[in-house]
Structure 1
Amino acid sequence: MLGALTVHTVLVTSDGGMDNAIVVDAARTWLAGGSPYDDRHFLYFPSAVVAAAPQALLPRPVLDVAVPVAVVAALALGWACALRLHRVPLRSRLAALGLLGLAAGFAPFGQLVRLGNWTVTAVLALPLCLLLASRGRWVAAGAVIGVAVALKPLLAPMALLFLFARRWRALAVLVLVPAAASVTAALFLPDPTGFLTRTLPFLVRGDDAFLRLYEASPAAVLPRLGVPEALAVLLGLLAAAAGVVCAYLRWRGPGPTPLRLAETSAALMLSAFLVSRPSYNHYLLVVLPPLLAGLPYAGAVARRPWFWLALVPQLPG
């Protein structure tokens, strides 16, 4: 299944997928002396430009093959980390059937591979971070999130988990790694403040017609149903605030540490997805593996019917 998906992606995409192409084109622009932020759809920190530079130097036929293979490998590794977080053997039926179910039954999995979206870094980094934290290696966990944020700031809300746990050194590492990487990278750009002066205002406005077609946040979806935009934004903010409160209560609640880590993190990330602009349905793949791998626990969220009902809209087809 994974092999077929990889081969299909290689055959039908270029530059490793439409989303990967945006980042690689930004790196090519930089290497040619231009500003990567001339493309308003490039929404990453300056550190991502430098990280994408090796791809920009590869021949396109090599890139077309290497990126889908790397994305599938990262998704599989993320699932493996989620399993080990909950101490599930990698040769168990859950390990095999879970990966097969994600690939065949969860549409965002295939979307992420075909797009080559850098969300894949978060899909790998989140369970790896939680695995390290569950073993007491919080500073290393903070470094993992920091590197992921430097590549794509999707996991920035995970700082709240470190705040809940009062892991101050780890939190400092989480913040300093992407900050140092981005500031250093920005010094080599012709437009060092491009992210602040172009990208941030664009994200705050969230008024891009192309991105709006694919957005899944309440602020984007509810106005399509006739809800005033201001009310939609307010509802999203209230829901996100409630989600953060629920995340804190889950962290303080009972249960095995791995399960608390997974469910608290999922609540934080889902809350962020409610208000982030843009927000896409493939972001769900970030939180699903750590939750799904928690099935062996009697009180796990993944054992409740509403968990599976919520996934129905993401079935392929």
Structure 2
Amino acid sequence: MRTGKSDIFGWLVRPADRRLWTVLAVVLAASALRTARAAGDGGMDNAIVVRAARSWLAGGDPYDDPHFLYFPSAVLAAAPQALLPGAVLRVLVPCAVTALLALGWAAALRLHRVPLGSRFAALGLLGLAAGFAPFGHLVRLGNWTVTAAAALPLALLLASRGRWAAAGAVIGAAVALKPLLAPVLLLFLFAGRWRALAAAVLIPACASGAAALLLPDPAGFLTRTLPFLLHGDDGFVRLYEASPAAVLPRLGVPLSLARALGVLAAGAGVVCAYRRWRRSDPGPLRLAETGAGLMLSAFLVSRPSYDHYLLVVLPLLLAGLPYAGSVARRPWFWIALVPQLPGLGWPWLETDRRRAFRDAFTLCALAVTVARRGVAGSAVPVTAGERPAPAPSPAAPF
């Protein structure tokens, strides 16, 4: 019997049975428990923030550690962790990271109006956990990128429901913990949502300003961390960065040219994101693809830029799969993810210090795919299980 696309997606949006949810729970638990056994303080990156908080509680300066790259408000946010025993953090942090990643996936699904109890909901999260290597990396590291991975789809979900001020507050709270979502401020600018923009700016500014007054060096972030972020002069960290400015010099491209190419690519990405926003077709794809385009553009030029940053945008794009014309329907979306399959060896790229080339391919391929969607002709999105809305040139359902 021949099965059409509509039959496939109709099957995906039906309720998942208990066996599928059991498999998902086992995979997520195994990932968290592996980190709990192997990592202290909940992972290497979380340990950096916890050490900074412990240093502050002991009267020291958290910015004495050059790898502490967060706003002063993050020091206060990490203080409760600094008071917990290491044995508790080993279990608590990977479980919290996993839960936040699941929350981000759930928010992305609701943004695209996909039922949370559907097979697609379970299989999508299972695919991310078992088939996308940066998911496991983020859980093992305990990196606070997870706050952005949960906050961006939640903010876009709020915006899709007309609650733009609340969306701005969510983005502002996430930026106060880690400034990764700062590029999303452009989305509020595109939309002319000034209250949301004010909330997204004032919340981290006030939180960091107040927290800085409690630190031995209130200007430490500006005088030490910001120069490090701008120049990226850490030889060890540079080996794991995926942005063109970090990867191209390793291939013999002059550093100045690599930086210029990164800036040009990022600028082109922002223009494409703006064009995607200006094409105001109905449905949630507009919000998801504009937000993802802005973030991917920033990752092309930011220093540092790691593989787990992709988890900020990938769930948003993947959740749009049930929509005709979505980025997740493009072949290059899936080609871009191939280097991130766990356990798949690549000639000359087997070592951890060379995986940045694979990460750079994924980043650039995703950025180009989303950018092309931004300048392509409009398509009418179709929510899973629904018929397409009337339009002059409606897209075929599924």
Q: What range describes the TM-score normalised by the shorter chain of this pair?
A: over 0.9
Higher percent of residues as helix: 1
In the other structure, the counterpart of 2:211 is 185
1:45-102 CA-to-partner distances (Å, cap 9, x unmatched) read 0000000000000011011110011000000011000000011000111101000000
In the other structure, the counterpart of 1:302 is 328
Q: CA deviation at 1:255?
A: 2.9
Separation (CA, whole Å) in 1 of partners of 2:166 and 2:152:
12
1:82-231 to structure 2, matched below 5 A, reads 82-231=108-257
3-state SS of 2:40 partner: coil
In the other structure, the counterpart of 2:86 is 60
Q: Which amino acid aligns with 1:169?
A: R
3-state SS of 2:284 partner: helix
Separation (CA, whole Å) in 1 of partners of 2:115 and 2:227:
46
Separation (CA, whole Å) in 2 of partners of 1:248 and 1:141:
19
Q: 1:73 is matched with which residue: 85, 96, 99?
A: 99
Separation (CA, whole Å) in 2 of partners of 1:92 and 1:166:
35
Q: 1:50 is matched with which residue: 73, 76, 83?
A: 76
Relative to structure 1, the CA distance from residue 208 to residue 113 in structure 2 (aligned partners, 3 Å threshold; closer, same or farther) is: same
Separation (CA, whole Å) in 2 of partners of 1:262 and 1:255:
12
Separation (CA, whole Å) in 2 of partners of 1:102 and 1:121:
17
1:213-234 CA-to-partner distances (Å, cap 9, x unmatched) read 1111101000111111110000
CA RMSD of superposed structures (Å): 0.7
The structure that has the greater radius of gyration is 2
Separation (CA, whole Å) in 2 of partners of 1:155 and 1:246:
18
Q: CA deviation at 1:256?
A: 2.8
Q: CA deviation at 1:202?
A: 1.3
Q: CA deviation at 1:201?
A: 1.1
In the other structure, the counterpart of 1:40 is 66
Q: CA deviation at 1:14?
A: 0.6
> What is the percentage of aligned positions where both structures have the same residue?
80
1:187-213 CA-to-partner distances (Å, cap 9, x unmatched) read 100110000111111111211112101
* Long gaps (5+) in structure 2: 1-26, 344-398
Separation (CA, whole Å) in 2 of partners of 1:78 and 1:268:
18
In the other structure, the counterpart of 2:385 is none
Count of residue correspondences: 317
Separation (CA, whole Å) in 1 of partners of 2:208 and 2:283:
33
Separation (CA, whole Å) in 2 of partners of 1:38 and 1:207:
16
In the other structure, the counterpart of 2:34 is 8
3-state SS of 1:94 partner: helix
Structure with the bigger RCO (C-alpha within 8 Å, sep 6+) is: 1
3-state SS of 1:299 partner: coil
3-state SS of 1:15 partner: helix
1:22-41 to structure 2, matched below 5 A, reads 22-41=48-67
Relative to structure 1, the CA distance from residue 77 to residue 293 in structure 2 (aligned partners, 3 Å threshold; closer, same or farther) is: same
Separation (CA, whole Å) in 1 of partners of 2:279 and 2:337:
25
TM-score, with structure 2 as normaliser: 0.79
Separation (CA, whole Å) in 2 of partners of 1:266 and 1:313:
20
Q: CA deviation at 1:133?
A: 0.2
In the other structure, the counterpart of 1:281 is 307
Q: CA deviation at 1:254?
A: 4.3
TM-score, with structure 1 as normaliser: 0.99
1:312 aligns with 2:350: no
Q: 1:291 is matched with which residue: 312, 317, 327?
A: 317
Structure 1 stretches of at least 4 aligned residues deviating more than 6 Å after TM superposition: none
Separation (CA, whole Å) in 2 of partners of 1:270 and 1:93:
28
